[in-house]
Every structure is written in C-alpha cells, then in structure tokens.
Amino acid sequence: MSFNYNNSTFTSFAVYADVTERDQTLFQANEGLTESVVNGMLAKASQRILTQLKSNDWWQEYQFKRNASLNNDPRQLPEVDPAKIKRREQEFKDLNIYFALFEYLLPMVADFGVETSAEVAKIKFYKDQYTALFNELIQAGDFYDFSGDGTVSTAERMPVKINLVRTR
C-alpha cells in the first residue's frame, strides 16, 4: 500500500513530496512550510478524512448491511481502517492533499485582508476539489475491503446514487 506508515501505524494518505508536486509555488514563497510541518498537517488531515467517512451515512449503511451484530446502533460503528482501503489509493492521496492545503497549509500563509490574494483563491479551489472528490468516492462506494482479504469483491462494493435537489 502506498499510504504513509510509521512503524506499522497509519500516519497519512500522502507525504510531503506529494504536496510539493501539487503546488510547488507555495513552497518556493514560504520557507516556513518545512517537511515536518507539512507531514504533521497531512496526518491531521488524514484523521479528519477518516472521521468524515465514519460520520457519513454511507459508512453507517455499509456497516449495518454487512454486520448484523451492530443492531443498527450508530454508537457501535467501527472506525474506518485505512489498511482496508484497497482501491482508489490515488484518490485518497488527492483527498489528503486537498484537505491539508485548504484547511491547514494555505491559511497559514494567506493574506485574508486582500480579496484577490492567490492563497485565498487557492483555498476555495482546493476546498471545491476536495468536496467533489469526496462525494465521488462515496457515490462509487468501491474502495473498502470489508472482509480484509486484500481485494474489494463485488459483494463489498456499495455504490450510492445521491439525489441532487435544487434549492431556491
């Protein structure tokens, strides 16, 4: 698996080099964004992504359909195990990068007093990218290896059709 582990403990979906590949200019202009700072923010972002997955209705339904011992009790839902994410690894890496950029890294260097600030525009861009990709992953529902056998079988996939509602 290409995710970042430290002594067999999950750290994050991405690493410093993945972020610098995505937005090199951010690091050229901001020397304070060191590798240790970025890796720390990626770890925080990864944990936040796992929390968002667990709190999503898709996860609840996915678990209840596969584990009757949960008795449809949301309090008994298991944590999302990143080691069981066997498909769409690149998408999870991208999610991690987008979240870390818009939530942690760009706000550290953005000038919110200037509406035309490039960093402020990037925050909105990366947040939109994150939201779209997160929704795409949930709709596909084909990334989690429930049985832990190393592959995501057809029975373990649970695509979702999200009905978009127009509000006025």
The answer to whether residue 120 is domain-embedded is yes
pTM (2 d.p.):
0.88
**Nearest to residue 109, comparing CAs of 43, 32, 161, 48?**
32
Q: What is the pLDDT of residue 30?
A: 85
Cβ partners under 8 Å of residue 10, min gap 6:
3, 4, 46, 82, 83
b/e for 127-153, b at 16 or more Cβ within 10 A? bebbeebbeebbeebebbbbeeeeebe
How many structural domains is the chain composed of?
Answer: 1
Q: What is the pLDDT of residue 145?
A: 92
Q: Which residue has the higher pLDDT, 74 or 160?
A: 74
Q: Containing domain of residue 80, as a range?
A: 4-156
The answer to whether residue 108 is domain-embedded is yes
Q: What is the pLDDT of residue 1?
A: 43
The answer to whether residue 139 is domain-embedded is yes
Work out the percent of the chain whose per-residue pLDDT is above 70.
94
The mean pLDDT of 162-166, rounded to a whole number, is 62
Q: What is the pLDDT of residues 20-70, one digit of tens each?
A: 999 988 888 888 889 999 999 999 999 999 999 999 999 999 999 999 999
In whole numbers, what is the pLDDT of the chain averaged over residues?
A: 91
The answer to whether residue 135 is domain-embedded is yes
The answer to whether residue 161 is domain-embedded is no
